[in-house]
Chain A
Amino acid sequence: MYWLRRAWAELRTEVFVLPSRTLVLVWALALLALPAVYADAYVLRILTMTCLFAIVAASWDLLAGYTGQVNFGHALFFGAGAYTTALLSLRLGIPPWLSVWAGAAVAMVFGFVVGFLCLRLRGSYLSLATLAFPLIALGILFAFPDFSGGELGMSGLRRLAVSPTANYYIAVLAMLAVVFGLWLLADSKFGIVLHAIRDDEVAVRASGINTLKYKLIVFAISGAAAGFAGALFAHSLRVAGPSTLETALSFQVVIWGIFGGLATIYGPVAAVFVLYPLTEWLGTFRTFGELRLLIFAVIVLLVLLFMPRGLAPWVRDKVETACPRCKQRNGAWRSVCRLCGAALKTQVAGAKGFVGHQ
C-alpha cells in the first residue's frame, strides 16, 4: 500500500508536471497495451524491430551524444552480439535465453577493445577510425567462411518465444529496461562526467578525473546494449548474417541519433519510432514505394534545416520552458516556476519604448 502511495506521489510530482514525461509514460503504456487491442502480426513485427533498433540508437547516444565519441561503426557491436548468439546457439546448442547474454558480454568486450584503441583519437579521427572496425570484422568473417558462414551468415536460430506477441513483449520490455537504465545512467553523476568529457576533456583531466576509465566504461556499456539488441535481433529474424555489420546500418544509427537529438537518450528512441515505421509504411505504396529511401533522406534533410538540434529538443522546447533561475523545466503554460517560484515569462510588453535607453 505504501509503495502504491509512493508511486502515485512520484508520478504526481515527477512525471505529470512535465508534458514530455507524461508523453513518455503514455507511450510506454501504449506499447505495452497494444497487443490487447490490435494484435496484427505485421504491426507487431515492425514494432519489435523498432524496439530493438531503439536500443541501438540509445546506446549510440550515450557514447556519441554524451561522451562525444561519435562512433561511425556502431554496427560492429550489433553484429558481434548477433554472431555470438548464433555461434553459441547453433554450434554449442546453448539455449537462446543464455546466449543472448553471452552476445551482450562479447559485444561489451568489443566495446572495451574499440574504446582502448580509440583512446588517443579525437573528433573526426575517432569517427573515421571507428568506421573501419566493422569492415575489418567483415573481412575476417569472410576469411573464415566455415566458422562464420561467409556471405550467407548463419541461419536456423531458434526464437526466444513462440508467438509473435510474446516476442513483441520481450522486445518492448528489453527496450524499456535498457533505455530507462541508460537514461538513469546519463542523468546521474556519471553522466555529468561524460558531458564534461565531451565539452573539454583536458579540463576534466585537470580536475583529477580519470577520463580513460570513464571512456572505456562508456564504450563497454554502449557496446553491451547494442550487442544485446543484436542478439535479440538474430533470434527474432532467425538469421545472423553480414548484413548486421553493414556500414549502412552504422550510418542509419548516426542519422537516428542526430535526427532525434544528441545527448538526450529519449531523442534517438523517438527518432527510431518515427522514422522506422514511416519508411516501412512508405514502402507499402506501389507508386513511390521504391523511392522510400529517397523520401527518408529528404525528410531527414528538411528536419535538419528547421530543427538543427534534433526532433526531440525541438518538440520539448515547444511544450516546456526552462526556468531562468533554477534551470529546471516547466510546462509551457505555466507563468511561475513550479520549484523556485521565479517568473517564467518576463514582462517585456511595456519595455519596448525603453529600447536603446539603458
Chain B
Amino acid sequence: MIRSIGLAAALALATSVAWAQGTIKIAIVGPMAFVQGEHHWNGAQMARDEINKAGGISVGGKRMQIELIRGDTNEILSVPDATNTMERVITRDGADFVIGGFRSEAVLAMQEVAMDHKKLFLGVGAAHSKLGANVEADYDRYKYWFRVAPTKDVDLARTLFAVMGSIAQQIRSELKTETPKVALLAEKAVWTEGLIKAAQKNLPAMKMEVVGLWQPSATATDVTAELAAIDRSGAHIVFTILSGPVGISVGRQMGERNMKAVAWGINVEAQKEEFWQAAAGKAQFVSTLDTYAEVEMTPKTIPFVKAYEARFNKAPTYTAATYDAIHLLKSAIEKAGTTDADKLVAVIEKMEHVGTGSTATWDKRHDLIWAVGKTAGIAVQWQDGKKVPFWPPSVKGMKPFKMPAR
C-alpha cells in the first residue's frame, strides 16, 4: 500500500518535473486546408502523443516534452503566404525545428527562410531534386535541410521501371505478347520531363514498345482525346505521370470506356482515399506508386497504419511521414545529447532510421538513398474500392496484380 502510494507520488513528481523541464517546439508546416496538410498534422500529432506519453525526449539527461506548432502555409494557393508562415513560426512562435512542406515551388522558397535562421528543416512532401542539389552546392548554408519523404524525383523513376518490369512480365505470360505496348500519359509539367525521357530510353531496352506520348494539362478535366488515341494505338499499359486532378479524370474515363489497357505509374490523386469516390467508382485497376499500406515494409508499418486508421478514420498518405520525421529527430537528439542544429546535422547524416514507410539513410545531398524494400515505396492498385498493395513481392502482405478482362 505504502509502496504503491510512494510509487504514484514518485511518478507524479517525475512527470511534473518533466513538464517543468521545458519543451521542444516543432513546427509542422503544410497546406492545412488540403489533404496533404491534414496528413502532415495527423502524423505529427500521433508522434507527439506517443513520445510525450512515454516521457518525452531525453536531451542529455533532461526530459523535454514535444510541443507542436501548426503552420498553415496555404502553399498550394500562394507562395508568399508559405514564406510568411515559415518566418512566423520561426521568429514569432519560436520553433526549434520545422517539418513539412509540399509544393516544390513553395518549398524552395521556404527552404531559404529556414536556412537564413539556421533551423533544421525536414522535408516531408516535396520531391524536387533542386532541394538536395542546394545542399551539395552550398553545404554550409543548406546543411540544415534533410528530405525524409519522398525519395527525390529522379529516384522515383527507378521504382517506376522496376514495377513496370514486373507488370510487363505478367502481361507476357497472361496475354502471350512478347513486347507489351506502353502509352505515355504525362501531364505537361517540368517535373515529368525527366521521367518521360527516361521512359523513352529504358522501355525499349526492357523489351517494351512505346506507342506514343500524350500530355494533358495537370488540371485537365477531360481526357477523352488522349484516351481515344491511346485506345487506337492498342497499348497494354498506360504509363501515367500525373500529379494533378487529371489523374481522377483518367481513372474515371478509362473505366467508363472499359479500356483494356491498365494504368500504372505515378498518380498522386490515386494515392488518396477520396480517389474512388472522386472517380465515381469507375477507377478499377488504376495502379500507382504509394507509401503506406498494411504490409510489413518495416516492423513499424502495420501498427502505424492500423493506429492511424483507428484515430483518423482514413488511411495515411505519404505526407503522414511527419511521424517518422519526429521520431527521427528524437533519436538524433537523444544520440547527440543536445538540440543544437549543427551537431544534429552530423548525427542525422550518419543515421539509419527505421521508420514506418521506409528504412532511411541519407547521401551527401541529404536525399534518401534509394533501395527496393527500404526507401523505394510500394505499388498499389485500386480493386473494388480498396487500395491493394502488390509490389515489392519480397515484402509480406502483397497481393496479386489484376488486369482488365479481355
Given known A-B contacts A42-B92, A155-B108, A237-B109, A243 and B79 have beta carbons under 8 A apart: yes
Chain A contact-residue range equals: 20 to 34
1/0 per residue, CB under 8 A from A, across B82-97: the answer is 0111011001100000
Q: B105 to A241, Cβ gap below 8 A?
A: yes
Q: Which residue of A lies closest to B187 (CB)?
A: A151
Q: Could you say which residues of chain A place their CB within 8 Å of the CB of B226? A: none
Given known A-B contacts A238-B112, A239-B79, A151 and B32 have beta carbons under 8 A apart: no
B104 at the interface (CB under 8 A from A): yes
B401 at the interface (CB under 8 A from A): no
B231 at the interface (CB under 8 A from A): no
For residue A141, give the distance in angstroms from its CB to the closest CB of chain B.
Answer: 10
Q: B134 to A156, Cβ gap below 8 A?
A: yes
User: Which A residues, 259 to 301, have Cβ-Cβ distances below 8 Å to chain B?
Assistant: 280, 283-284, 286, 289-290
B201 at the interface (CB under 8 A from A): no
B128 at the interface (CB under 8 A from A): yes
Q: B78 to A237, Cβ gap below 8 A?
A: no
Q: What 9 additional pairs, Cβ within 8 angstroms, besides A42-B84, A156-B134, A290-B32?
A: A45-B84, A45-B87, A145-B189, A151-B105, A151-B189, A155-B105, A239-B105, A283-B72, A289-B72
Given known A-B contacts A49-B84, A290-B32, A145 and B193 have beta carbons under 8 A apart: yes
Cross-interface CB contact of A248 among B77, B105, B134, cutoff 8 Å: B77
Q: Could you say which residues of chain A place their CB within 8 Å of the CB of B72? A: 283, 289-290
1/0 per residue, CB under 8 A from A, across B348-366: the answer is 0000000000000000000
Q: Which of A280, A284, A286 has the most chain B CB atoms inside 10 A of its CB? A: A284
Q: B190 to A151, Cβ gap below 8 A?
A: yes
1/0 per residue, CB under 8 A from B, across A87-98: the answer is 000000000000
Q: Could you say which residues of chain B place their CB within 8 Å of the CB of A42? A: 84, 87-88, 91-92
User: Which A residues, 118 to 166, have Cβ-Cβ distances below 8 Å to chain B?
Assistant: 142, 145, 149-153, 155-156
- Complex-state Cα separation, A49 to B85, whole angstroms: 13
Given known A-B contacts A46-B84, A152-B190, A286-B70, A239 and B92 have beta carbons under 8 A apart: no
Given known A-B contacts A152-B105, A290-B32, A290-B72, A243 and B190 have beta carbons under 8 A apart: no
Q: Could you say which residues of chain B place their CB within 8 Å of the CB of A290? A: 32-33, 72
What are 30 A-B interface contacts by the 8 Å CB criterion? A40-B92, A41-B87, A42-B87, A42-B88, A42-B91, A42-B92, A45-B83, A49-B84, A142-B188, A145-B190, A145-B193, A151-B105, A151-B191, A151-B218, A152-B104, A152-B105, A152-B130, A152-B190, A152-B191, A155-B130, A156-B130, A237-B79, A237-B112, A239-B79, A239-B109, A280-B84, A283-B81, A283-B85, A290-B32, A290-B33
Q: Could you say which residues of chain A place their CB within 8 Å of the CB of B188? A: 142
Q: Could you say which residues of chain B place their CB within 8 Å of the CB of A49? A: 80, 84
1/0 per residue, CB under 8 A from A, across B55-91: the answer is 0000000000000001010100111110111011001
Interface residues of B (CB under 8 A from A): 32-33, 70, 72, 74, 77-81, 83-85, 87-88, 91-92, 104-105, 108-109, 112, 128, 130, 134, 188-191, 193, 218
Q: A149 to B190, Cβ gap below 8 A?
A: yes
Q: Which residue of A lies closest to B73 (CB)?
A: A283
Given known A-B contacts A283-B72, A289-B72, A152 and B87 have beta carbons under 8 A apart: no
- Complex-state Cα separation, A145 to B191, whole angstroms: 10
- Complex-state Cα separation, A289 to B81, whole angstroms: 12
- Complex-state Cα separation, A40 to B92, whole angstroms: 8
The 8 closest A-B pairs by CB, nearest first: A150-B190, A155-B108, A239-B109, A41-B91, A145-B190, A241-B105, A42-B91, A42-B87
Q: Could you say which residues of chain A place their CB within 8 Å of the CB of B92? A: 40, 42
- Complex-state Cα separation, A152 to B79, whole angstroms: 11
For residue A114, give the distance in angstroms from its CB to the closest CB of chain B.
Answer: 24
1/0 per residue, CB under 8 A from B, across A227-242: the answer is 0000001000111011
For residue A41, give the distance in angstroms from its CB to the closest CB of chain B.
Answer: 4
Cross-interface CB contact of B74 among A45, A152, A156, A283, cutoff 8 Å: A283
Q: A241 to B79, Cβ gap below 8 A?
A: yes
Q: Could you say which residues of chain A place their CB within 8 Å of the CB of B77? A: 248
- Complex-state Cα separation, A63 to B80, whole angstroms: 26
Q: Could you say which residues of chain A place their CB within 8 Å of the CB of B33? A: 290
Q: Could you say which residues of chain A place their CB within 8 Å of the CB of B218? A: 151
- Complex-state Cα separation, A258 to B80, whole angstroms: 23
For residue B180, give the distance in angstroms from its CB to the closest CB of chain A.
Answer: 30
Q: Which residue of A lies closest to B89 (CB)?
A: A42
Q: Which residue of B lies closest to A286 (CB)?
A: B70
Q: B91 to A40, Cβ gap below 8 A?
A: yes
For residue B79, give the distance in angstroms from its CB to the closest CB of chain A.
Answer: 5
Q: Which residue of A lies closest to B109 (CB)?
A: A239
- Complex-state Cα separation, A142 to B216, whole angstroms: 12
For residue A340, give the distance in angstroms from its CB to the closest CB of chain B.
Answer: 48
- Complex-state Cα separation, A115 to B189, whole angstroms: 31
For residue B403, give the distance in angstroms from its CB to the closest CB of chain A.
Answer: 33
- Complex-state Cα separation, A120 to B128, whole angstroms: 45
Q: A284 to B105, Cβ gap below 8 A?
A: no
Q: Which residue of A lies closest to B138 (CB)?
A: A156
- Complex-state Cα separation, A238 to B92, whole angstroms: 22
Q: B87 to A153, Cβ gap below 8 A?
A: no
Q: Could you say which residues of chain B place their CB within 8 Å of the CB of A289? A: 72
Q: Could you say which residues of chain A place their CB within 8 Å of the CB of B91? A: 40-42
For residue A45, give the distance in angstroms from its CB to the closest CB of chain B.
Answer: 5
- Complex-state Cα separation, A192 to B70, whole angstroms: 51
- Complex-state Cα separation, A175 to B312, whole angstroms: 48
- Complex-state Cα separation, A313 to B110, whole angstroms: 39
Cross-interface CB contact of A152 among B81, B108, B112, cutoff 8 Å: B108
Q: Could you say which residues of chain B place their CB within 8 Å of the CB of A243? A: 78-79, 105
Cross-interface CB contact of B105 among A40, A142, A153, cutoff 8 Å: A153
